[in-house]
Homo-oligomer: A and B are copies of this chain.
Amino acid sequence: MELTPRYKTLYNDALEKSSLRHTKQREHIFSIILEKKDHPTADEIFTRSREKMPSISLATVYNCLETLVESSLIRQVNFERESTRYCPNLRPHAHFLCKRTGAIHDVDLPDSLIKQLEETLPENFNPEHIEINFSGSNNSND
């Protein structure tokens, strides 16, 4: 429930860089996303956060998530029109949604492949962001 020193530094630096305030709620929500990297929705984060902080509101959860995304501490993950999910993995990666279990898995992507994808674009297109989402099924037991 406490941020490790490494993440505490990351968190402090990110907020200070954007001159945002350091609040209990923001830190708590960040710790919940780091605790179990299962790509929870805002509502799941709300439920988990109330265990240790019963007075937090859903609006605050949404506000904190927005702040954490803008500070680049976490990323949003969207599949179709399902609820937005949140991911603390900042490396370039794709997501795989298993339709059988509902679980979302991170899939690391080599830089070379991302470069190849960018090279498919016309010359005058400047990509700032890429999102790559697979869906299907997997046979493993998780």
Contacts and interface: CB of A to CB of B under 8 A. Distances in A.
Given A78-B81, A120-B108, A121-B96, A135 B139 contact: no
Interface of A: 76, 78, 80-81, 84, 94, 96, 98-99, 105, 107-110, 113, 116-118, 120-122, 124-140
Nearest to A132: B132
A120 B109 contact: yes
Contact of A134 (B127, B135, B139): B127
A128 B137 contact: yes
A37 to B, nearest CB: 17
Nearest to A141: B124
| Main SS at interface, chain A | strand
A14 to B, nearest CB: 21
A116 B33 CA distance: 31
Given A81-B84, A116-B113, A120-B113, A130 B133 contact: yes
Nearest to A119: B113
Contacts of A132: 117, 130-133
